[in-house]
Amino acid sequence: MGNTNWIEQDHFLYRKFVFKNFSEAFAFMTRVALEAEKMDHHPRWTNAWNTVEIWLNTHSAGDIITEKDHHLAQRIDEIISPK
């Protein structure tokens, strides 16, 4: 499963998201947090004003990229661009 907007780097799937303002960024983070909690798979992320950066890997598999990471990345992509 490939996520074209995500970059594989240093054993992580990485993507940067830029929004109009802090409120939009925070709303996005809230939606991702709810999805991640359902999956019991939590991202490493940062937020500075309108920018959210996310790094995904699976700690229980030795900090490598697994199918769980690709699945969460796909769910995040669906949050940002609903079908």
Q: Which sequence spans correspond to the domains of the chain?
A: 7-80
Query: Alpha-carbon distance 64 to 11, whole Å?
Result: 5
The domain 7-80 is classified under which CATH number: 1.10.10.410, 3.40.50.720, 3.30.1360.20, 3.30.460.10? 3.30.1360.20
When pLDDT is cut at 50, 70 and 90, the band that residue 3 belongs to is low
Using 50, 70 and 90 to split pLDDT, how confident is the model at 82?
A: confident
Question: Distance between CA atoms of 56 and 66, rounded to whole angstroms?
Answer: 9
pLDDT, average across residues 32-48: 96
Task: Report the distance separating Cα 76 and Cα 71, nearest Å.
Answer: 9
Q: Mean pLDDT, the chain, as a whole number? A: 93
Whether the predicted model's global pTM rises above the 0.75 cut: yes
Please work out, in degrees rounded to the nearest 5, the angle formed at the alpha carbon of residue 8 by the alpha carbons of 74 and 37. 40
